[in-house]
Structure 1
Amino acid sequence: MSAAAVKFLQSLVVPEGPRAGKAVRLAPFQRTFVRAALKKTVSIAALSVARGNGKSAISGGLGLGALLGVWDSQPRREVIIAARTRDQAKICWSFVEGFARSLPDDIQRQLKFRRATREIEFAGNGGGILRAIAAEGRNALGSAPTLAVLDERGHWPIDAGDALEAALLTGLGKRNGKAVLISTSASDDAHPFSRWLDHPPTNAYVQEHRPPPGLAADDVESLLIANPGARHHIGASEKWLAQQAEAAIARGGSALLNFRLLHRNERVTADGRDLLLMPDQWLACETAELPPRVGPCIVGIDLGGSMSMSAAAFFWPETGRLECSGAFARKPSLLDRGQADSVGDRYVQMRDRGELTTIGDAVVAVGPWLASVARQLDGAPIAALCADRYRQAEVSEALDAAGLRCPVVWRGQGFKDGAEDVERFRRAVFDGQVRSLPSLLLRSAFADAVCLSDPAGNSKLVKGRSKGRIDAAAATILAVAQGARMLAAPKRTGRAIWA
């Protein structure tokens, strides 16, 4: 079955683009996906790859092959290619039509094209019909497809997309059909397409070309991970991608976010208005050599709950030096937590890098944890410790238990205190007043940190996804904002004495 599919796809002729009129050549990653997707044990196959890597060729070629019965001889086959919008569905249908024009004449005579309804009917080999539809559940009601191709599934509207996906997958069961999901990355881990990739069922095959998070937009090796076709003259060349990365970095803002989403295949929202920091803004704070520990230190802490992370940030305002560490309880294990939070072995990597520790059994023991925080300072003077006033009683008890004596600044997490802290933190970052070693802990926290704004434009910190761990970002904001307040405070040069 898979060998027949690969042979059929490579017998087609490219209908458009620079290679129009030439035979289709599958890159190794495409052959791998096609062979795995058409195995008898696989009923759902998902491919995530950057834009311009032949997704349309795979979608259209598989749809046409299934219509002709190249690997499935069921009579009256039904193939559905579902896209986000009607216009996108029309593009998918046109690609199938273009491939069909390269078929032998006797096969073409048995094909009937209906452009108004975006259908292609085949009279030979038991017959079949191919339809291109938009992402609306009612479009697939009553269908029993032998193959369903979900094009750009990561960018379908959530409600309508889920309804169509459910209608297609339930219809596939009637005829032992297959579903193929092909898309660039969705904007976050909570999207249904992301869940297919992160938690596939036993009858699914997943192939994801996504680089590790937190890398620079122009990092060449990670660009080639997201664009495996570049080495095989499919889609954009390595030179073009490097040029676009340079342009996106120069423009910044939504242009950079769109480049990361579409050409680096990263899970970032294309709308940067609600992000606490854009990825490249934080990367600009990272340095290979930290400034010295000079002057007083500000400590920001964020206590987690029974299953959350606790985090501490150390900030030296005079030099801009920032350090941060996190802690989880020992149970469940870091690997199990990572699987539950859809981040794989990221917590294990943080531990190996010395950024994350485990303390306590089922809950982080706050007193011993704060004592370990003090030990990390190695005797550096603490000018202030900043914490959420909502946990005031718990923090006070833990400070007593740890034997820490220092001024405590209580801050709220609502719009009044939160908006000021967020604004001071952002200003310090943009002014180059925050310097940190490359930290997977902080990169992950800022990737999940967004801001909620009230009608007056005040912003407070919230999570970007339900399972995101932003504790390190919250602690960092508290420490840096307090450091900015201390630097801005007027210096007292003397004291008036009344005679």
Structure 2
Amino acid sequence: MRDWRSLPTSKLTRAERNMKFCERYLRVPEGDLVGQPIKLADFQEAFFYAVYDNKVMTKRAILSMARKNSKTGTIAMIVLVHLVGPEAKQNSRIASGARSRKQAAEVYNYASKMAALSPDLRNRVRPVPSAKKLVGLAMNVEYDAVSAEGSTAHGGSYIVVVLDEVGQVKGPQDDFVDAMVTSQGAYSDGLLFVISTQAPTDADMMSILLDDAERAGDMATICHLYAAAPDCDLLDPKALAAANPALGLFRSKSDAEEQLQQAARMPSKEATARVLILNQRQNMVAALVAASVWKRGNVEPAPWDHSAIYGGLDLSATTDLTSLVLTQRQGGVLMVRAWFWMPEANIAIASKRDRTPYDVWVKKGLIRTTPGNVIDYAFVARDVGEICGDLPVPVKRLAFDRWRMDRLKVELAKIGVELPLEPFGQGFVSMSPAIDAIEEDLLKGQVHHGGNPPLAMCAANAVAVPDPAGNRKLDKSKSTGRIDGMVALTMARGVEAMFTDPEVNVDDWIASMRG
């Protein structure tokens, strides 16, 4: 950045001309400074420079920061730059997209007021409040504020799209976002902005966009992420500043500090504070395994040796995910391998329903399919038999949930496969010791799972609920998605503890599960 404000217009770059337009013509729409000229913050200037002075043509621009850092104001400025500013193109259309009609209206209201308060723009911008539309009269540019709750995204053709709060999208796919992005197909110079806080999990759309921008190294993609370090202390002032580039300007420092102090006193508020104030990836539902803890295990498990192998098998409903997890402890580290099955005819439906790329995982061989639209236990039985038969040592114990297990036993008997099946209850008494055991291994960094994507999804979704005595169990009804793989892993760790931990009374534990 440089001192562009003192330079004549002829010496300004494209980004600086856009910034000069904002500060010369736009007015603060509300608050204590209402009606005064806009003054860009440093982070906004940096974003303008990166987007508009890019050596290659920017196609996608991502800006992520904590709440209350003037995301709506930044979107409104971008809208007006392309509506009546230096970026306006004859007869073009631009749009901002939000999750709700209320949020879409916020952007419209902000941009409309910015123009209405400007003596130079009030007669150049025609608002259409009923349609949440602005028209830039000089170049006949139209702006639409659209929402996922409406249908106006379909059929439009927009040269510029600004997506607000993509971090609220659960899963990797969203029909509304897809409609907005594909609406730019008519333009070779279309520009997509994504301005949002982070999403809760790695599997959500905003996280995927950020991770892709980091890995790909694509010069046409600009990404500015303001976030606290994943393992930071909740009250670290550096963490607060890192996630809030407008701290002390648009964002009240005292208010943010007060909320963080409250979250430090009340653990139930910590996850929400980390997402909204520190802009961290944090599932606001109390997940069993923190994302940072799970990632420590993204190490390929060592090849099987002749140590004892334990397993867990979680059978699904007829149309859902079935999982087998086998574990082996080598040098104190739990080596984990997972297999998954789904009905072939349901893959596309389930991918859209759960907003999870099951179809991609099937193509990569991470999920096996059974024919038809319901899970075929004959195929599962055959595959489980082959997997266990190829091991260097027989499985010592294979834990299973009694639900639907009789059907699988029949199929195993048909093909002559005998496995050391161990019934494993899913209630508090049975699951709590197993959850404690796998949680301890994960926290100590003693689990190598290789980053298996379906298993990682299950771990991110898993929620442990307590009873009045403090025992815990995995609850699918409280989880944010499929958790079958984590249930199978927990059962595998549970039977390992049953038969190897000297502090565990095996007879009592087995009796409690069977009784």
- Please indicate the TM-score interval, normalised by the length of the shorter structure: 0.5 to 0.7
Match of 2:129 in 1: 115
Q: CA deviation at 1:78?
A: 1.6
| CA distance in structure 2 between the partners assigned to 1:484 and 1:261 by the alignment | 41
Match of 2:281 in 1: 267
Given candidates 419, 440, 464, the residue that maps to 2:426 is 419
One-letter amino acid of the structure 1 residue matched with residue 279 of structure 2:
N
| CA distance in structure 2 between the partners assigned to 1:147 and 1:22 by the alignment | 27
Given candidates 280, 284, 288, the residue that maps to 1:276 is 288
- The verdict on how the C-alpha distance between 1:458 and 1:56 changes in structure 2, with shifts beyond 3 A counting, is same
- The verdict on how the C-alpha distance between 1:435 and 1:311 changes in structure 2, with shifts beyond 3 A counting, is closer
Matched, 1:65 2:77: no
Q: CA deviation at 1:149?
A: 0.8
Paired residues of 1:49 and 1:208 also in contact (CA < 8 A): yes
Q: CA deviation at 1:53?
A: 1.7
Q: CA deviation at 1:223?
A: 3.2
- The verdict on how the C-alpha distance between 1:479 and 1:184 changes in structure 2, with shifts beyond 3 A counting, is farther
TM-score (ref. length: structure 1): 0.62
Given candidates 208, 214, 224, the residue that maps to 1:207 is 224
Match of 1:185, SS? coil
One-letter amino acid of the structure 2 residue matched with residue 71 of structure 1:
E
Paired residues of 2:437 and 2:494 also in contact (CA < 8 A): no
Given candidates 161, 184, 198, the residue that maps to 1:148 is 161
Match of 1:319 in 2: none
Paired residues of 1:83 and 1:135 also in contact (CA < 8 A): yes
Q: CA deviation at 1:198?
A: 1.6
| CA distance in structure 2 between the partners assigned to 1:218 and 1:312 by the alignment | 40
| CA distance in structure 2 between the partners assigned to 1:199 and 1:20 by the alignment | 39
TM-score (ref. length: structure 2): 0.60
Unaligned runs of 5+ in 1: 284-298, 316-322, 329-389, 402-407, 491-499
* Aligned ranges 1:85-96 → 2 under 5 Å: 85-96=100-111
| CA distance in structure 2 between the partners assigned to 1:474 and 1:219 by the alignment | 38
Paired residues of 2:334 and 2:446 also in contact (CA < 8 A): no
Paired residues of 1:424 and 1:481 also in contact (CA < 8 A): no
* Aligned ranges 1:353-364 → 2 under 5 Å: none
Q: CA deviation at 1:31?
A: 2.0
Match of 1:76 in 2: 91
Match of 1:165 in 2: 177
Matched, 1:54 2:54: no
Paired residues of 2:333 and 2:446 also in contact (CA < 8 A): no
Matched, 1:241 2:244: no
Q: CA deviation at 1:206?
A: 2.0
Match of 1:189 in 2: 202
Match of 2:243 in 1: 226
How many residue pairs get matched?
A: 389
Unaligned runs of 5+ in 2: 1-13, 295-307, 314-323, 338-383, 404-422, 466-471, 509-515
Paired residues of 1:44 and 1:178 also in contact (CA < 8 A): yes
Q: CA deviation at 1:252?
A: 2.7
Q: CA deviation at 1:65?
A: 1.3
| CA distance in structure 2 between the partners assigned to 1:487 and 1:236 by the alignment | 56
One-letter amino acid of the structure 1 residue matched with residue 175 of structure 2:
A
Match of 1:362 in 2: none
Map Cα deviations across residues 241-263 of structure 1 (whole Å, 9 max, x no partner): 3331231233333x322222222
Map Cα deviations across residues 315-346 of structure 1 (whole Å, 9 max, x no partner): 9xxxxxxx756589xxxxxxxxxxxxxxxxxx
Root-mean-square deviation (Å): 4.9
Match of 1:486 in 2: 504
Paired residues of 2:171 and 2:203 also in contact (CA < 8 A): no
Q: CA deviation at 1:184?
A: 0.9
- The verdict on how the C-alpha distance between 1:440 and 1:102 changes in structure 2, with shifts beyond 3 A counting, is farther
Match of 2:413 in 1: none
Match of 1:82, SS? strand
Q: CA deviation at 1:174?
A: 2.0
Paired residues of 1:190 and 1:465 also in contact (CA < 8 A): no
Match of 2:191 in 1: 178
| CA distance in structure 2 between the partners assigned to 1:277 and 1:92 by the alignment | 37
| CA distance in structure 2 between the partners assigned to 1:489 and 1:414 by the alignment | 19
Match of 2:58 in 1: 42
Paired residues of 2:434 and 2:491 also in contact (CA < 8 A): no
Q: CA deviation at 1:394?
A: 5.1
Match of 1:70, SS? coil
Q: CA deviation at 1:300?
A: 9.2
Matched, 1:25 2:39: yes
Paired residues of 1:442 and 1:473 also in contact (CA < 8 A): no
- The verdict on how the C-alpha distance between 1:25 and 1:399 changes in structure 2, with shifts beyond 3 A counting, is farther
Match of 2:202, SS? coil
